[in-house]
Amino acid sequence: MDSTVIGGIIRTVLAAAGGILVTKGYVDDATLQALIGAVITLGTGIWSVIAKKKANAAVTTAFTAGIDSTKK
């Protein structure tokens, strides 16, 4: 699965769980939207850091092995 599919699944699950919380009266709609936005923003930031660390490790490994991954 690519990041677009996973992101869509996460947003759907958050919206469904949030709908339950709104229905039960634990949060209002505006608070729910703010919480979902915060979770998505934090998740995206964490995902970006992890992806960049993995990419950096791959490039470091390639150069260490004597392979220039920048040439095609």
**Local mean pLDDT, 10-residue blocks, the chain (72 residues):** 83 91 93 90 90 82 65 56
pTM score: 0.63
Tell me the C-alpha to C-alpha distance, in Å, between residue 13 and each of 5, 6, 9, 19.
12, 11, 6, 10
pLDDT at 27: 93
What is the DSSP code (8-state) at residue 26?
S
Model pLDDT, residue 68: 56
pLDDT at 65: 67
Buried b / exposed e over 31-44, threshold 16 CB at 10 Å, is ebeeebeeeeeeee
CA distances from 42 to 25, 29, 35, 56 (A): 25, 20, 11, 21
Residue type, 42: L
